[in-house]
Amino acid sequence: MPEISRFFGIVVLMYYNDHAPPHFHVRYGEQRALLGIESLAVLRGRLTPKALGLVVEWASKHQDELIADWERARRQEPLRPIVPLE
């Protein structure tokens, strides 16, 4: 699963040929979550409120890039890294 961003110990990943709706995966220590790109809601899993806040802040700034990577993944094309939250 390609890593598309990393910040503050949070790793953002996206699978190739993953199921709808468009989403991305997050790892933070032992925590795992799957967030919808359009809704930015947790679809599965759990993150601490602080980690979730950072992920939502980052994703809200990069929704267009996340959708573009989702579409690349569906076409089996290389994903583009997305700048981390600073």
Q: Is residue 10 part of a domain?
A: yes
In a domain, 55, yes or no: yes
pLDDT of residue 35: 98
Q: If you compute the radius of gyration of the chain from its CA atoms, what whole number of angstroms results? A: 12
Alpha-carbon distance of 29 to 34, in angstroms, equals 15
Average pLDDT value for residue range 30-39 = 98
Q: Is residue 84 part of a domain?
A: no
Overall number of domains in the chain: 1
Instruction: Please write the tens of the pLDDT for every residue from 36-79.
Output: 999 999 999 999 999 999 999 999 999 999 999 999 999 999 99
Higher pLDDT, 69 or 86: 69
- Domain extent, residue 56, equals 3-74
50 Rama sector, left if φ>0, alpha if ψ -120 to 50, beta otherwise: alpha
pLDDT at 1: 73
Residue 42 counted as domain residue: yes
Does residue 86 lie in a domain region? Answer: no
